[in-house]
Amino acid sequence: MTTAGKLLEGLETRYKVNSLLSPAAMVGEVLMEVFIPLIMANIIDIGIAGKDIGYVAKVGLLMIAVSLFSLLCGMLSARFGAVGALGFARSLRRRLFSKVQDFSFANVDKFSTASLVTRLTTDINNAQNMYMMIIRMCVRAPMMLISATIMSFIVNRSLAVVFLGAIPLIVIPMLFIMKAAFPRFKIMMKRYDSLNSTVQENLTGIRVVKAFVRENHESQKFRDAADAVRSAQVKAEKLVILGMPLMQMVMYVSIIVIFWFGGNMIIGGTLLTGQLISFITYLSQILISLMMLSMIFVMLVISRASIIRIVEVLDEQIDIANPVSFSSSDASYSLTDKSSAVLEKKGTDSVTAVKDGSIDFKNVFFSYAGTQETSVLNDVSFSIPTGATIGIIGGTGSSKTTLVQLIPRLYDVLSGSVMVGGVDVKDYDLEALRSSVAMVLQKNVLFTGTIKENLLWGNEKAGDDELIQACKTAHAHDFIMSFPEGYETVLGQGGVNVSGGQKQRLCIARALLKSPKILILDDSTSAVDTATDTSIRTSLKETLAHTTKIIIAQRIASVKDADTIFVLDEGRLASQGTHDELLSSSSIYREVYESQKSLSAVDLDIG
Ligand SMILES: Nc1ncnc2c1ncn2[C@@H]1O[C@H](COP(=O)(O)OP(=O)(O)OP(=O)(O)O)[C@@H](O)[C@H]1O
Ligand SMILES: [Mg+2]
């Protein structure tokens, strides 16, 4: 599909119609505009020269009518154009946003959040301006150019030839200017990109910036980025502004030339005064159209960079998608097949229910795309029966998070297989799989809104009793009730107004509301005191007897009571067993245990 086709895909008919009406109305406006000088010439040459007031009044009224009609067409064209262009931007923005919603973690990793934000905002605005220009200016300028030229030939052929000589004088230097300016504008757009990412990164991390007293450093970074944009833009505009004086010079010289030749023609009786005046108007219409055309080229270059960036997102292959009928059993299951699956939200033969919470890893290898690391997970195999409690321990960077992310298929394995409820995760309908697996991510996010609204993410239909029950299990109920507004307390962006431990407990409660078959807690009680941590585990055990629970932790105390504990070491499953078994069989486990015990046996609750 062409770039234009990709951008226009799915544009509503209403906006398409507006986009076509705009140039249509523009045709009316331009035709009237070139007609007016002709009427004026007649008023002067016939009415005024012949002292015929009746003619002047009659044709004068016609001129007013034509002007009003031209004005009306202009207004309509601007309105249709605005509606069309805004509709285009809206439709494109929606498509881009929903595409990003379908992105897998790997897709998001590739683009970076800051870049996606720029693409959805600045780039779409540029695309909108370009669209507006195409449906209006790209019609107006050539049309004005051609019709004004034709009119001038109709008025007086020999004089027209004279001023046609002026056109190359303006076109050739303009081409040089544009050619030199193109690369400069490209550089300018790149600098805008880095300015945007500086702003986004800084605003997202403003708390960290303040905590590390890096304001001056950040301000300097911003100043540098802003300066870079300024100097690039000055460099580009420097060339473009040469165009204006150039055009004016050519225009005034042409006017003098035309007055010279035209004056002689009038004396010789081959030209009338009014015709000369209309000629000057056509001349300026032609030169202004040329100027406009050159501006259009500049604008197209600026927006081209944006269009490319938008199309990149639209073209991105979504690497995790629902299985489709022809491909799940097909050995040549290629990337293209997968992306077409996205269009068909629900695969026809995908499994839509997770039977139970059993998990099997068979010779799983995994690595992140675009990293040097050959294998983040190395030949991992294990079996977890449904309802079991599993602890995962391992040094930082030992791939604990990576391992559990494969269970709800946030990433796809490189080789081997991950089975949930006896079925390969690739054969599940994604929504079915993910709603059965609740994962409290290591980097928790709460959204702007009340506590209740945030909890309902887990289950929209949950009643107040269910909410309270989940919060009690997660030991969040008491502190929620201590807020004056209780469950209606409004959380700031990202949950800034609750403490780290409170946030973790809210996230656990939110996950519990999903009534999952598998519950994964990735270091989810790290900010909670040990006593509360223990009570949370006890109540999880009581209320979620049939749910498979996977607890990743740094503290031995958090996993010690698990049915099986996995010890991960540099992407390998080093050992597994109960607490007591591991104490005797795993040196890594024993080391961690000893080091934590020596810190404070009482505090760590491992006595
Ligand atoms: N999105 C990513 N892209 C590329 N590499 C990644 C990504 N996430 C993690 N890694 C790398 O994969 C390896 C395992 O990371 P992982 O987050 O699974 O460790 P972890 O055991 O959860 O560590 P921690 O205890 O600190 O949370 C690390 O070397 C890390 O650098
Ligand atoms: Mg982790």
Looking at residue 14, its pLDDT comes to 93
What lies within 8 Å, CB to CB, of 201 at 6+ separation is 114
Indicate whether 275 belongs to any domain: yes
Judged by DSSP in three states, 375 sits in coil
Clarify whether residues 163 and 291 are in a common domain: yes
Ligand 1 atom closest to the Cα of residue 402 is 18
Which pairs with CB-CB distance under 8 Å and at least 24 residues apart come from 203-206?
204/113, 204/114
Q: Is 398 in the pocket of ligand 1 (CB under 6 A)?
A: yes
Last residue of a domain, one of 258, 291, 315: 315
Q: What is the whole-number distance in angstroms between the Cα of residue 382 and the centre of ligand 2? A: 19
Provide the residue range defining the domain that includes 72. Answer: 3-315
Cα dihedral sign for 222, 225, 231, 237? negative
Using CB atoms within 10 Å of the CB of residue 482, give its burial: 0 to 12 exposed, 13 to 18 middle, 19+ buried. exposed
Looking at residue 15, its pLDDT comes to 94
pTM above 0.85, yes or no: no
Task: Supply the residue whose CA is at minimum distance from atom 7 of ligand 1.
Answer: 368
Clarify whether residues 98 and 240 are in a common domain: yes
Task: Supply the residue whose CA is at minimum distance from atom 1 of ligand 1.
Answer: 109
392 alpha carbon, closest ligand: 1
Ligand 1 atom closest to the Cα of residue 105 is 1
395 alpha carbon, closest ligand: 1
Q: What is the whole-number distance in angstroms between the Cα of residue 583 and the centre of ligand 2? A: 23
Q: Is 442 in the pocket of ligand 1 (CB under 6 A)?
A: yes
Clarify whether residues 305 and 428 are in a common domain: no
Ligand 1 atom closest to the Cα of residue 405 is 18
Ligand 1 atom closest to the Cα of residue 394 is 21
Task: Supply the residue whose CA is at minimum distance from atom 9 of ligand 1.
Answer: 402
Q: What is the whole-number distance in angstroms between the Cα of residue 403 and the centre of ligand 1? A: 10
Distance CA 145, CA 279 (A): 14
DSSP 356: -
Distances (CA, A) of 508 to 295, 456, 533: 57, 12, 12
Clarify whether residues 427 and 542 are in a common domain: yes
CATH number assigned to the domain comprising residue 282: 1.20.1560.10
Clarify whether residues 305 and 378 are in a common domain: no
Task: Supply the residue whose CA is at minimum distance from atom 17 of ligand 1.
Answer: 401
CATH number assigned to the domain comprising residue 363: 3.40.50.300
Clarify whether residues 311 and 438 are in a common domain: no
Clarify whether residues 266 and 374 are in a common domain: no
Q: Is 571 in the pocket of ligand 1 (CB under 6 A)?
A: no
Indicate whether 471 belongs to any domain: no
Indicate whether 190 belongs to any domain: yes
Clarify whether residues 185 and 267 are in a common domain: yes
Chain segment 73-119, per-residue pLDDT in tens: 999 999 999 999 999 999 999 999 999 998 888 888 888 777 788 88
Ligand 1 atom closest to the Cα of residue 554 is 25
Q: Is 402 in the pocket of ligand 1 (CB under 6 A)?
A: yes
Indicate whether 501 belongs to any domain: no
Clarify whether residues 133 and 196 are in a common domain: yes
Q: What is the whole-number distance in angstroms between the Cα of residue 201 and the centre of ligand 2? A: 22
Indicate whether 582 belongs to any domain: yes
Looking at residue 143, its pLDDT comes to 94
Task: Supply the residue whose CA is at minimum distance from atom 18 of ligand 1.
Answer: 399
Nearest to 120 by CA among 138, 103, 137: 103
Whether residue 354 contacts residue 408, with contact meaning beta carbons closer than 8 Å, is answered with: no
Indicate whether 335 belongs to any domain: no
Last residue of a domain, one of 315, 336, 370: 315
Indicate whether 304 belongs to any domain: yes
Amino acid code (one letter) for 56:
V
Clarify whether residues 373 and 250 are in a common domain: no
If one counts the domains in the chain, the total is: 2
**Segment-wise mean pLDDT, segments of 10 residues, the chain, 607 residues:** 85 93 95 93 91 93 95 96 95 94 86 81 90 91 93 88 80 84 82 81 79 86 93 88 83 87 91 90 88 81 82 88 53 39 50 90 89 81 94 91 93 93 92 91 83 89 91 93 92 81 92 92 87 89 91 90 93 92 91 79 48
Q: What is the whole-number distance in angstroms between the Cα of residue 328 and the centre of ligand 1? A: 29
Amino acid code (one letter) for 171:
V
Last residue of a domain, one of 315, 330, 349: 315
Across the chain, what does the average pLDDT equal? 86
Clarify whether residues 289 and 372 are in a common domain: no
Looking at residue 66, its pLDDT comes to 95
Clarify whether residues 442 and 293 are in a common domain: no
Ligand 1 mutation target, pool 400, 414, 439, 569, most atoms within 8 A of CB: 400
Ligand 1 mutation target, pool 107, 367, 368, 526, most atoms within 8 A of CB: 368
- CB crowding 486-508: b at 16 or more within 10 Å, else e: ebebebeeebeebeebbbbbbbb
110 alpha carbon, closest ligand: 1
